[in-house]
Structure 1
Amino acid sequence: MIPHDTSRAFNKMAETRLGNGLFGRGIDRICAVVAARTARGMASQVLAARRLTQTIEIRLDWLRNDRQRRSFLVWLRGRHPPARLIATCRTVLGGGRFRASTKKELAWLSAAVTAGCAWCDLEIESLRKLAPASVRQALASARILLSFHDFRRTPARLGQLWNEGRRWQSACVKFAPQANTIGDSLRILRLARNRREIVVVPMGEIGLPARILALREGSALAYAPVETATAPGQISLHELKHLYRAHELTRRTRVYGVIGDPIGHSLSPLLHNTGFVARNVDAVYLPFLVKGLPDFLKAVPELGIRGFSVTIPHKEAIVRYLDDCDPLAAEIGAVNTVVVRGGGKLYGSNTDYVGVLRALEGRLRLAGSRILIFGAGGAARAAAFGLARAGAAVAVCARRESRARELARAVGGEAVPRRALRTQYFDAILNSTPVGMYPHAAISPLLSRELHCRVAMDMIYRPQKTQLLRMAERKGCKIVSGIEMFLAQGFAQWEIWTGQRAPEAAMRRAVLRKLEEEERRGTALERARRR
């Protein structure tokens, strides 16, 4: 029950209503989240955040203890950073780490205001427990950002929660529910349309694309951590600003993406967004974790999606939803590229086979070569049809022998049982399964004694050198990383969507740099573990 006098409780804190201007404009609508266990760590992050945005959230609840909180606020008061600071000391009940009472939470927020914070984020659970007069007295010179969090689901009655938030007369209301479907993400985004003084934050990996598009839809802020993620589905401040350019997206921006499950490993957003930036194309490419195709396809018109990549496990299933299809893709029975045409018509094609051919052509003459494909899924089908068209003698081996026989028959090849791999020789062996993909990089789909070939290729590109390729290299085989296929098929997709020549050098450089950074980090961690 909200007390009658709360309609006046925060009037002073909500005097100026500027919609998207509440926290500034452009890049300043991206809020850097500062969260560390020590005062020194917090201070370091504040300075790093200031180089990217003027709006910074200070997560006091992440600090180890009151001594660290006190030390940090002393530092902050002395620095007087020219930034828009939001103090947060979220309790455990509200999804944070602060384990003391709501009165102590309020006391720390008051101390943060004294140290220079112009805004205070106060969760609804705490506000319901506090007397309006005590809040008014403690935070008189600050503005309140009233927060609703739900880490399990998206509530059915978002409109009612909005009405409750407005009754408190806070300067701004934030909704941060877990999005368990893409449909949930749409409901959260709709809340921001035609409303002012609102922040929407779809949480979770499924909610990530909507989180990136939230500013475009009218949210006053989008959050991104400087270092440590503080909520499910967050991406780094650097990525949100430079890779996705969330603060620059408008309704004119063309939206593309990749759909799959899992999707967190994908470097496609890095590849395509780098291309958009290099060619100055007003477009963005987003990662969609898709459990069910209907959930995603219903969102295509509302999100303004113009095209999308398709990866595991949807390459074959997507075909039945298409309005038209490239003849080769139809023959393959799998699609990795979709263009959304006028009237929402979906047109499918396949660039996977282009990637396979380009990756192998430099290592051996395809015509007349005997090439084994391990696996029989969508990527395997693209490889099999492409290689058969190039004149290779295609062999297929798969866990389910019936599928291997079916694919081999479709391309005029042969099905090879797994037990025969120990004695048979191939010019090349190509793994098309996800076995050995990050984070399960220590395993291989094939044994060393099954690798009798001149060339071994893995479609997996993360890591660049999989366990399968390491074993093949030790046996003296030439190896081909999946990164070559990934880049070639990606360049072809980019050109299909934009009608321009892909900036291949820039796109390749960005992806290889990212992989090299990951490998260096992995090597350093492994060395530290062995000490």
Structure 2
Amino acid sequence: MEERKNKLFGLLGKNISYSFSRGYFTKKFENLGLKKHKYVNFDLQNIDELPKVLKKNKDTLNGINVTIPYKEEVMQYLDKLDETAKEIGAVNTIKFTKRGNLKGYNTDVVGFENSIYPFFKKHHKRALILGTGGASKAVAYALKKNDIKVKFVSRNPNGKKQISYLDITEEVLKKYTVIVNCTPLGTSPDIEKCPNIPYEFLTEKHLLFDLIYNPEVTTFLKKGLKKGATIKNGHKMLELQAEESWRIWNDD
């Protein structure tokens, strides 16, 4: 396949006008002097619309990032999966191979792991993951890799690895000192919202990580900070996973 002159990249998601990725890559292309590179949002109300998008842009499309709610649903449209993405069961990066195949990767793992790792202390042995979507699977994968046991928290728990928000007691929070918010609760403009956990039982031993980056300090993080917990938002994670996506798209 001959080298494409105009290169199009984009973000696949739903209601994503706030997108970090579009601004990040547009600025990156400007800095690198890549005038024929463009990054757009593919804001789809239903994943069924994806084949139409792929067909329409088949001559210029080189790579896609995937965000909520399509990190799992998009897999049915891919020809191949990277080993990590296969194990996690979620994709956030799609590469268009030279043969014209679509290959799925998960760069959330790299982004999350490298972002949270500097904050780990010896007593961080167990983590609660709030939410059960595609991002939470990558978070669990990264935590387990660092020998941290995980429990998912869901409004509708299913199976032994999941508990409900009502199950989070003072006793549970003594054991689980890492809490990662993988839900969209608290994202701008609904900044007063936050996951329903008993914040009064948090201590300085807790590490709270929020995948949300807008606002910079969510209500979830503010409540942790009041109790002396260490806090971190998702901005650095997004930068790291975006750079990993860029590496994958350009890696022949």
Partner of 1:254: 7
1:374-389 map, 5 Å: 374-389=130-145
Whole-angstrom distance in 2 between the partners of 1:384 and 1:432: 11
* CA displacement 1:62-110 (0-9 Å, x = unmatched): xxxxxxxxxxxxxxxxxxxxxxxxxxxxxxxxxxxxxxxxxxxxxxxxx
Partner of 2:184: 434
Kept in 1, the 8 Å contact 2:71–2:92? The answer is yes
Give how far 1:360 is off: 1.1
Give how far 1:393 is off: 1.2
Whole-angstrom distance in 1 between the partners of 2:206 and 2:125: 11
Does residue 324 of the first structure (1) align with residue 73 of the second (2)?
A: no
Whole-angstrom distance in 2 between the partners of 1:496 and 1:366: 33
Unaligned runs of 5+ in 2: none
Q: 1:420 aligns with which of 150, 167, 178?
A: 167
1:45-444 map, 5 Å: 252-281=5-34, 282-303=36-57, 304-365=60-121, 369-402=125-158, 405=159, 408=161, 415-423=162-170, 424-425=172-173, 426-444=176-194
* CA displacement 1:108-128 (0-9 Å, x = unmatched): xxxxxxxxxxxxxxxxxxxxx
Whole-angstrom distance in 2 between the partners of 1:366 and 1:285: 41
Does residue 462 of the first structure (1) align with residue 210 of the second (2)?
A: no
Change (3 A) 1:420 1:385: same
* CA displacement 1:283-337 (0-9 Å, x = unmatched): 1111111112232332224322111000010000011111000111111111000
Q: Greater share of helix residues, 1 or 2?
A: 1
Letter in structure 1 aligned against 2:15: P
Letter in structure 2 aligned against 1:472: G
Kept in 1, the 8 Å contact 2:128–2:153? The answer is yes
- Give the structure-1-normalised TM-score: 0.43
Whole-angstrom distance in 1 between the partners of 2:196 and 2:209: 12
Give how far 1:416 is off: 3.3
Give how far 1:451 is off: 4.2
Kept in 2, the 8 Å contact 1:422–1:449? The answer is no
Letter in structure 1 aligned against 2:45: K
Partner of 1:109: none
Give how far 1:482 is off: 1.1
Letter in structure 1 aligned against 2:227: K
* CA displacement 1:225-248 (0-9 Å, x = unmatched): xxxxxxxxxxxxxxxxxxxxxxxx
Change (3 A) 1:279 1:499: farther
* CA displacement 1:334-354 (0-9 Å, x = unmatched): 100001123531100001111
Unaligned runs of 5+ in 1: 1-250, 409-414, 501-531
Give how far 1:270 is off: 1.1
* CA displacement 1:395-435 (0-9 Å, x = unmatched): 21111201xx37x3xxxxxx333223231222210000111
Greater relative contact order (Cα < 8 A, sep 6+): 2
Kept in 2, the 8 Å contact 1:446–1:468? The answer is no
Letter in structure 1 aligned against 2:154: A
Kept in 1, the 8 Å contact 2:124–2:177? The answer is no
SS at match of 2:216: coil
Letter in structure 2 aligned against 1:419: L
Kept in 1, the 8 Å contact 2:156–2:164? The answer is no
Whole-angstrom distance in 1 between the partners of 2:117 and 2:220: 20
Change (3 A) 1:329 1:480: same
Whole-angstrom distance in 2 between the partners of 1:478 and 1:422: 20
The structure whose Rg is larger is: 1
Whole-angstrom distance in 1 between the partners of 2:96 and 2:123: 36
Provide the aligned length of Structure 1 versus Structure 2: 241
Change (3 A) 1:395 1:279: same
Kept in 2, the 8 Å contact 1:456–1:469? The answer is yes
Letter in structure 2 aligned against 1:291: Q
Whole-angstrom distance in 2 between the partners of 1:450 and 1:321: 44
Whole-angstrom distance in 2 between the partners of 1:305 and 1:388: 35
Kept in 1, the 8 Å contact 2:194–2:219? The answer is yes
Whole-angstrom distance in 1 between the partners of 2:211 and 2:228: 19
Kept in 2, the 8 Å contact 1:366–1:390? The answer is no
SS at match of 1:342: coil
Give how far 1:477 is off: 0.5
CA RMSD for the aligned pairs? 2.0
Does residue 498 of the first structure (1) align with residue 247 of the second (2)?
A: no
Whole-angstrom distance in 2 between the partners of 1:348 and 1:397: 27
Letter in structure 2 aligned against 1:284: K
Does residue 476 of the first structure (1) align with residue 228 of the second (2)?
A: yes
